[in-house]
Amino acid sequence: MVLKPGESTRIELTVNSVAHQVDVEARWLLSDVLRHSIGLTGTHVGCEHGVCGCCTVLIDGEPARSCLTFAVQADGAAITTVEGLAASDGELHPLQESFKTHHGLQCGYCTPGFLMTALPLYERAPEMTDDELRRAISGQLCRCTGYAGILEAIRSAAGIEHSRKGDDS
Amino acid sequence: MKPAPFTYHRPETRTEVDALMAELGAEAKILAGGQSLIPIMNMRLSSPAHLIDLNHLRDEHAEPVLDDGHVAVGPLVRQSSAERSALVTDRVPLLAETMEFVAHPAIRNRGTVVGSIAHADPAAELPAVLAVLRGEVVARSSSGRRTITAGDCFRGPLENSLEDTEWLEEVRWPVARDHQGFAFEEFARRSGDYALCGVAARAERSGSTTTVALGYLGMGDVPVCIELPALDASAIDTEIEDAVAEVVEHQLDPGDDIHATVAFRTHLARRLGVTAARRAASNAEARGES
């Protein structure tokens, strides 16, 4: 396959379990395709060189910078964005609920990146040491909260999930 | 902050990559993880005319494999995969110890080990580790393969010693032997940032003497690898201070920049060097006894 400047190719992205076919140019970043082509603007774009972490999404289940991935590289991949967290009836994901409860956000710009980074690890966060948890989220920058609330939120999310399941039974 | 237009190539075999490199040469860049390349393209510090995307190569290993005295890492092995590899933990403990210092978890999920070596950033961890372990890389092109030692692999900042038509297909990490011990230390302002100074240490116990090699990052245009004079193993704790101070003073030539003065970098090189050398020597002793 060869794609010249200005030419587009059709790629398949499964975003939050919905299949999309999108025409992209080779130089288009995954972050821009999610926001502009698919209209999912929950993925925020901060520094565009991988430092701030705002644009973090899951690519095939693992957190990755969507600003450091060409959309064409993600052809055929399953992407999860922050829009995939809350239930269809609007009920917040336990992680989102926990960020709300523990002052894990203020302006909210960095929040989607924090949520997507925390998503694969919040269930084991209660057993992680402060040091381990800080290191696990060290790739995300927040300029409002001072991080203490964010750590608390990630640590408490599993508890919220368990108490919800308890309520259901 | 968007990359300039380029022509995108998606080969499916290594031979197709060879052919593309033969045709395009210096006009082309290899894209694997892209975690160093895409930022500099976003900032328009680099605007290659062609990108050759390796991500769709068929039958590539996703994990490091054991091969005749070394652990071989292919072009699509992600850094996170090396980090989680039991083989790496067991056979190349220095690499295992260093992985968590490389950028951030989300970057390591995409970034490749081979890419970090090819990028040849003198402030990056993996080139210094490869240098101190005396590892090798395998370069290939349409006219064949050649093995390059780590010492000959790095030519300058972001410059490796490959020809324009060559690309890296493998990095080889020597398996740790008995009586060898290792340690990695670095100082960065924030976790995952480029370190102001870092050092990988390899110690080897032979009879009553211990030899230590230090591989520094962030202290020159390429990783700087220095062998300390052999020391009496029983006196290493007291003698290592002076030995490290001596090489730091005479063999390192760090730069001054907004992040740290020469004096501060030199201080770090001495302290981190001593800490890493001591720990490596003590690990060598422990491994020798086991």
Query: Could you read off the pLDDT of B67-109 as tens digits, one per residue?
Result: 999 999 999 999 999 999 999 999 999 999 999 999 999 999 9
- Window 12-31 of A: residues touching B by CB (8 A cutoff) are 25-27, 29
Among the partner residues A3, A56, A117, nearest to B8 by beta-carbon distance = A3
Which chain B residues are Cβ-neighbours of A53 within 8 angstroms? 104, 106
B22 touches chain A (CB under 8 A): no
Cβ pair A73:B107 closer than 8 A: no
For A149, the domain range is 94-168
End residue of a domain, out of A49, A84, A119: A84
Tell which of B118, B148, B175 closes a domain. B175
Structure tokens at A164: 């919800």
The answer to whether the CB atoms of B80 and A4 lie below 8 A apart is no
- For chain B, how many structural domains are there in total? 2
Return the amino acid letter for A110: C
Same domain membership, residue B157 and residue B27: yes
Same domain, yes or no: B40 and B143: yes
CB < 8 Å to B3, chain A:
27, 29
Q: Which of A59, A75, A138, A147 to mutate to test the interface with B (most CBs of B within 10 A)?
A: A138
Q: Which residues of chain B have pLDDT under 70?
A: 289-290
Contacts of A67 in chain B (CB under 8 A): 38, 42
Chain A residues in contact with B106 by the CB 8 A cut-off are 53, 56, 63-65, 117, 139
Residues B165 and B252 in one domain: no
Give average pLDDT by consecutive 10-residue segment, chain A, 169 residues.
96 98 98 98 96 97 98 96 97 98 97 98 96 94 95 97 80
User: Do B23 and B85 have their domain in common?
Assistant: yes
CB within 8 Å: B8 and A6: no
B228-266 residue pLDDT tens: 999 998 888 889 999 999 999 999 999 999 999 999 999
- Provide the domain limits for residue B206: 180-289
Quick check: is A89 in a domain? Answer: no
Q: Mind telling me how many Å the CA of A10 is from chain B's nearest CA? A: 14
User: Which residue of A lies nearest to B55 if distances are taken between CA atoms?
Assistant: A73
Give me the total of CB pairs closer than 8 Å, taking one residue from chain A and one from chain B. Answer: 101
Interface of B with A in 26-55 (CB under 8 A): 31, 34-35, 38-39, 42-43, 51, 53, 55
Q: A79 with A116, same domain?
A: no
Looking up residue A114, the CATH number of its domain turns out to be 1.10.150.120
Predicted local distance difference test score (pLDDT) of residue A168? 58
Share of chain B above pLDDT 70, in %: 99
**Assigned domain for A100 exists:** yes
* pTM, rounded to two decimals: 0.96
Same domain, B93 and B221: no
Q: Are residues B121 and B1 in the same domain?
A: yes
A118 touches chain B (CB under 8 A): no
What integer pLDDT is reported at residue B192 of this predicted model? Answer: 85
**Do B127 and B215 sit in the same domain of this protein?**
no
Residues B145 and B56 both lie in one domain: yes
Verify that A67 and A117 share a domain, yes or no: no
Do both B148 and B241 map to the same domain? no
- B78 shares its domain with B130: yes
Residue A2 lies in a domain: no
Are both B40 and B159 inside the same structural domain?
yes
Residue A105: per-residue pLDDT: 96
Q: Do A58 and A102 fall into the same domain?
A: no
Domain finish residue from B175, B198, B221:
B175
**Which domain-ending residue is among B151, B175, B199?**
B175
